[in-house]
Structure 1
């Protein structure tokens, strides 16, 4: 008798047994996500900077030209941010409002708001230089928001909302640009040491969130910083012969990848250390670099210049109402020299939904 005859049957049996162990029928599914709370910089700021005295504002045209009613909300894009698309996908609300917006009522906070501030970073000095909200200040607004929620629905329901909410942290790019590449604030000993310093800030913030009851936390990595139009411009200015041939600054992209690897390891360590929590890495590098390498796949024509003005340097106050803008922004990966277009944000959100949500 052939001894291999029973092997396929045994293999099938063990496979079914393994699946049964991994997916027991009585395992309770994760409760639905109750709210979305965002912290960080312009990538998730839906207009908080409109209500603080800073130059880092985008509550004027041409910002918002693709937003409903062409409203310039204070989002640094022509339209929605990735967090808006995610809030909509989760069925929470069509867009994620800014916490400081006076029209946001305590009941609105129960399904999510953004506490983020454009121009800020994980390093307090970054936000102080741009006169924007530090992570500490964003945290104090979150604590204030929790108090408002409790006044509306009580402690028990507020705790349930926080336990089942999705928290997004997106910051670090401004820190790297100001402190390492453009030397606005001087520099740390090395790029690697400065990254470790930023990651220690991420760790402390996640610990704070966990202590407050957060259990689903996603942390965005860095984008390919060397491909931001402003960094491409600054990188090619020093080499006049390639000024007209725009290319990404590769060492900055290498730094971003290194940071992202460290962040993934940190998230894994924290997930193991903090009971009952899911701390996930939100990869924005991969979808952005894919758009740059394969623009046609996404219907893009321009990936290294912004739609606003010359597309080389303009952002925030320099991207003005009278600035010349591109005709079809959906063909542009960046709206200004730093910030993705609504089209790019929708790609990032779709990527996040496909990769992260099965894990949540």
Structure 2
């Protein structure tokens, strides 16, 4: 195993509540300047994962998992869908702008018009529908996590051609790496399409995925990664697609506590793996905050985890057929209220 002692980890759950949590963390580190008046703490941001951090790579591949159509992007200028699974910015975009790495948003690596300047300060390799388990992308047609590393290697070649090998090494070593994946693995391989249940019980599948994460981290480390933020699992049982799949009667739909418990156990195991020495409090805090929002905390405005709020027919249509929506302010998984406004709880 590669020596990982120099690698810095933050662990966060991959749900929209992360926007609020990360905003709080960044605020506490005095990084909230609105203009690029000082040098950023990181020279670049490099992102790997699924739809939570896909800035548009799926626009350029053959997959049903696309968001380059309405209602996505409704709060961007000119209301143009960008390929983000959001009405506006993603968590990764907020992080990049608040840390002064990017002025606005993070570009997708597969964008054929990606400029040298944008490439030098970072890109997203993420792909909606991806996961650590190779079976996940067989089902979704997304870019696998390990294929994303192959794209990262191509990124390194281009970066060296732009700034030279010495400066490229500085950028790669100093960059902030974000990883956000795992939810699709459980949905497509264990819950809704239970292919891995033939091999593993839930605990065994946890271990299988976390061993895959270990390999992924080692690969990134060997390529120069030294600072990383890894997302744990959200309360999967509160995802509209899961409630829709479990309950035929719409009136009976509610969060699936067995799947939420699986996610909590997974996150705790992830913390105990030994390569996450810092910020253990962040995972538990934000995961609970997500569940509070799903159940409607008494002291805050309740946003119901109603799958019909996103799709009147549920959440089984990931592509362009998913345009049948209700107002975004009525449901839990509302990425932003406006293109430049973080979600305030």
The equivalent residue for 2:24 is none
Indicate yes or no: 2:331 matched with 1:332: yes
Q: Check the 8 A contact 2:88/2:339 in 1, yes or no.
A: no
Indicate yes or no: 2:327 matched with 1:316: no
Alignment of 1:1-360 (within 5 A): 32-93=41-102, 94-183=104-193, 185-187=195-197, 188-237=199-248, 240=249, 243-266=250-273, 269-270=274-275, 283=283, 285-294=287-296, 299=301, 301-305=303-307, 307-310=309-312, 312-317=314-319, 319-321=321-323, 323=324, 325-327=325-327, 329-334=328-333, 340-343=334-337
Q: Check the 8 A contact 1:168/1:218 in 2, yes or no.
A: yes
Q: Check the 8 A contact 1:288/1:344 in 2, yes or no.
A: no
The equivalent residue for 2:36 is none
**1:113-171 Cα distance to aligned partner (Å, 9 max, x none):** 11011111100111122111111210010010011111111111111111111111111
**Counterpart-to-counterpart distance in 2, 1:134 and 1:222:** 18
**1:303-339 Cα distance to aligned partner (Å, 9 max, x none):** 3336443162254215444x2x323x234322xxxxx
Q: Check the 8 A contact 1:36/1:168 in 2, yes or no.
A: yes
The CA deviation at 1:232 is: 1.2
Aligned residues between the structures: 303
- Residues 301 and 279 from structure 1, CA distance in 2 versus in 1: closer, same or farther, beyond 3 angstroms? closer
**Counterpart-to-counterpart distance in 2, 1:111 and 1:311:** 41
**Counterpart-to-counterpart distance in 1, 2:329 and 2:212:** 36
The CA deviation at 1:281 is: 8.7
Query: Please, what TM-score do these two structures have when normalized by structure 2?
Result: 0.79
Indicate the RMSD between aligned Cα atoms, in angstroms: 2.8
**Counterpart-to-counterpart distance in 1, 2:258 and 2:223:** 38
**Counterpart-to-counterpart distance in 2, 1:281 and 1:115:** 28
- Residues 255 and 291 from structure 1, CA distance in 2 versus in 1: closer, same or farther, beyond 3 angstroms? same
The CA deviation at 1:295 is: 5.7
The CA deviation at 1:282 is: 6.6
**Counterpart-to-counterpart distance in 2, 1:281 and 1:110:** 33
**Counterpart-to-counterpart distance in 1, 2:75 and 2:296:** 24
**Counterpart-to-counterpart distance in 2, 1:223 and 1:58:** 21
- Residues 230 and 348 from structure 1, CA distance in 2 versus in 1: closer, same or farther, beyond 3 angstroms? farther
**Counterpart-to-counterpart distance in 1, 2:281 and 2:344:** 15
The CA deviation at 1:75 is: 0.9
**1:191-239 Cα distance to aligned partner (Å, 9 max, x none):** 11011110001111111111112111111000100000111122222xx
**Counterpart-to-counterpart distance in 1, 2:272 and 2:315:** 34
Q: Check the 8 A contact 1:300/1:332 in 2, yes or no.
A: no
**Counterpart-to-counterpart distance in 2, 1:77 and 1:198:** 27
Looking at both structures, which has the greater relative contact order when contacts are Cα pairs under 8 Å and sequence separation is at least 6?
Answer: 2
**Counterpart-to-counterpart distance in 2, 1:190 and 1:125:** 16
**Counterpart-to-counterpart distance in 2, 1:100 and 1:281:** 35
Query: Please, what TM-score do these two structures have when normalized by structure 1?
Result: 0.76
**Structure with the greater alpha carbon radius of gyration:** 1
**Counterpart-to-counterpart distance in 1, 2:231 and 2:66:** 22
The CA deviation at 1:290 is: 2.8
Gaps of 5+ in 1: 1-30, 273-277, 335-339, 352-360
Q: Check the 8 A contact 2:87/2:339 in 1, yes or no.
A: no
